[in-house]
């Protein structure tokens, strides 16, 4: 009985808990429904003409760009290749005699002239040899004089029929023998003088001396492999560079006509011009491994900007286009219909102009068709443009520069 009454008393509590959970569910559903309704109406209001935000048309908004005026002028056409500076003469100075190195008369890195004395080797052994050779010569000359006098006496006696012909012939042979001895003695004298000359080493060419390879006091030999010093000629100097084999047809006709095409050399970054010279010659074959051929250019190198084995960028002038339209290469755009530019009209809108591009040199391009001098072309900001777009000019150049004439 008690258990039955307890179950009846707990029944309202269970019902209240159930009702409480039910109201919480209803509350969540109502909140979600309200949020969805608010979002729906907000989106509907945005779609109405009166409440929609107006977008600015690209045609109406001025786009900032930079434009440059096309110019008429001369454009130099260059072929570019990588090369290295090569001296005309590089001489390793070696001793031609054996002896002690007595004196070094140069400084490392010094510029010397041809014929300048550089090194002295102990000359005393060669002076002794010269003295001996000259003494031998004096003795043999005295003997030769004596036998010649005897020959004259023998000829007189033979004419008088006082001696036999054999004695005269023998005396004539003796004279010829000593004449040969005199020539041998002269050769010994010349050799001794030559050795004495070799003890004084002079510069065979003008140029720059490298590091000293032997110090004074050492015994040097003619058979030494390394030599005493190295002289490199700097003025004039050459540059050997390579071009693709397809360029050969543009180079050879000028050489065959006796012309000397202009060559300019720049540093590694092609930012600084080092020297100007002329093309000297072309190699006699194409390298089958690289498909290139070598060319040699000559430079006076007055300021010694070119240094042996220095890597440089060489530019060979092959043609000059006169009175052509020139614009910056950055203005050229590429499309499915070919190259074009954005040209700025008087009302500050742009139009697309198809063009025919000639040569591109040093950041500039020659235009064969499609533009006239004075036309403004967009060089910066073209990626945001389309036909008829309104522009605002940030800057305006003249379209000249680089290597154009």
Q: What is the per-residue pLDDT across 71-104, written as a single tens digit (0 to 9) for each? A: 999 999 999 999 999 999 999 999 999 999 999 9
Predicted pLDDT at 384: 86
Predicted pLDDT at 62: 86
For the chain, give every domain's residue range.
Answer: 1-54, 57-84+235-405, 89-120+203-232, 123-198
Q: How confident is the model at residue 3 (pLDDT cuts 50, 70, 90)?
A: very low
Largest Cα separation within the chain, whole Å, is 198
- CATH superfamily, region 57-84+235-405: Efflux pump adaptor protein, beta barrel domain (2.40.30.170)
Does the domain at residues 123-198 carry the CATH identifier 1.10.287?
yes
Predicted pLDDT at 61: 79
Beta bridge partners of 297: 239, 279
Does the domain at residues 89-120+203-232 carry the CATH identifier 2.40.50.100?
yes
Predicted pLDDT at 8: 44
Tell me the whole-structure pTM to 2 decimals: 0.67
Q: How confident is the model at residue 40 (pLDDT cuts 50, 70, 90)?
A: low
Which whole number is the average pLDDT over 57-80?
84
Per cent of the chain over pLDDT 90 is: 65
> Angle, to 10 degrees, between the axis of helix 165-198 and the axis of helix 124-159?
160
Judge whether 67 and 349 are in contact, CB under 8 Å: no
């Amino acid at each position: 009985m008690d258990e039955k009454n307890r179950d009846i008393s707990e029944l309202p509590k269970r019902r209240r808990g159930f009702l409480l959970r039910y109201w919480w569910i209803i509350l969540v559903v109502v909140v979600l429904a309200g949020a969805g309704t608010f979002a729906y109406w907000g989106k509907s209001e945005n779609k109405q003409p009166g409440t929609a935000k107006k977008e600015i048309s690209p045609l109406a908004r001025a786009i900032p760009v930079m434009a440059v005026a096309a110019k008429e002028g001369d454009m130099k056409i260059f072929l570019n290749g990588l090369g290295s500076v090569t001296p005309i003469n590089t001489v390793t100075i070696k001793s031609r005699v054996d002896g002690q190195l007595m004196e070094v008369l140069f400084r490392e890195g010094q510029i010397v002239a041809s014929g300048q004395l550089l090194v002295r080797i102990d000359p005393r052994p060669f002076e002794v040899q010269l003295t001996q050779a000259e003494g031998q010569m004096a003795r043999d000359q005295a003997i030769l004089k004596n036998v010649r006098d005897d020959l004259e006496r023998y000829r007189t006696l033979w004419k008088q029929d006082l001696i036999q012909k054999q004695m005269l012939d023998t005396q004539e042979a003796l004279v010829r023998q000593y004449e040969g001895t005199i020539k041998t003695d002269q050769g010994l004298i010349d050799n001794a003088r030559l050795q004495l000359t070799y003890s004084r080493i002079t510069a065979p060419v003008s140029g720059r001396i490298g590091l000293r390879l032997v110090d004074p006091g050492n015994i040097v030999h003619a058979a030494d492999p390394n030599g005493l010093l190295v002289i490199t000629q700097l003025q004039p100097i050459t540059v050997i560079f390579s071009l693709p084999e397809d360029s050969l047809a543009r180079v050879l006709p000028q050489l065959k006509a006796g012309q000397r095409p202009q060559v300019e050399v720049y540093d590694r970054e092609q930012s600084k011009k080092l020297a100007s010279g002329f093309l000297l010659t072309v190699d006699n074959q194409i390298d089958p491994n690289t498909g290139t051929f070598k060319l040699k250019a000559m430079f006076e190198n007055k300021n010694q900007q070119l240094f042996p084995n220095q890597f440089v960028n060489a530019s060979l002038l092959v043609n000059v286009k006169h009175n052509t339209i020139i614009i910056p290469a950055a203005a050229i755009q590429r499309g499915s219909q070919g190259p074009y530019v954005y040209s700025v009209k008087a009302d500050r809108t742009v139009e697309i102009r198809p063009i025919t591009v000639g040569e591109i040199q040093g950041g500039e391009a020659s235009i064969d068709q499609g533009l006239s001098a004075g036309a403004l072309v967009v060089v910066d900001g073209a990626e945001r443009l389309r036909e008829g777009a309104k522009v605002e000019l940030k800057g305006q150049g003249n379209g000249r520069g680089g290597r154009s004439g």
